[in-house]
Amino acid sequence: MNRILAIAFILFCFEIGLFLMFAPWSSLWDNNFLFAFSPGFKAFALSNFTRGAVSGLGFVDCVLGLSELHRFWKSLRLFDRTPE
């Protein structure tokens, strides 16, 4: 069960990371319905600084997924060793 949870967490990190890296630069970000309620929020959310910060957070999330994948493979190699 722990292996399944570890794989699910790794996939979740990659999925969220890729979404956060590419969504701020897509039309999905530009055509948000929340912008109709607050013009100040629209100016903040559409700034390149905010888009870059969200993309950077996505990059960090992908790096977290890679580190967890490395740790998972390392634990599998330790677990699958046969005693001499």
DSSP string, 4-68: HHHHHHHHHHHHHHHHHHHGGGSHHHHT-GGGGT-HHHHHHHTSHHHHHHHHHHHHHHHHHHHHH
Task: With respect to residue 16, please indicate whether it lies within any of the assigned structural domains.
Answer: yes
Tens place of pLDDT per residue across the chain (84 aa): 688 998 999 999 999 999 999 999 999 899 888 888 888 899 999 999 999 999 999 999 999 999 999 999 888 877 666 565
pTM: 0.81
Into how many domains does the chain fold? 1
Main-chain dihedrals φ then ψ at residue 38, nearest 5 degrees: -145, 105
pLDDT for the residue numbered 76: 81
Q: Does 71 map to a domain?
A: yes
Residue ranges making up the domain that contains 23: 2-28+40-79
Residue 61: the pLDDT is 96
Q: For residue 18, what pLDDT is reported?
A: 96
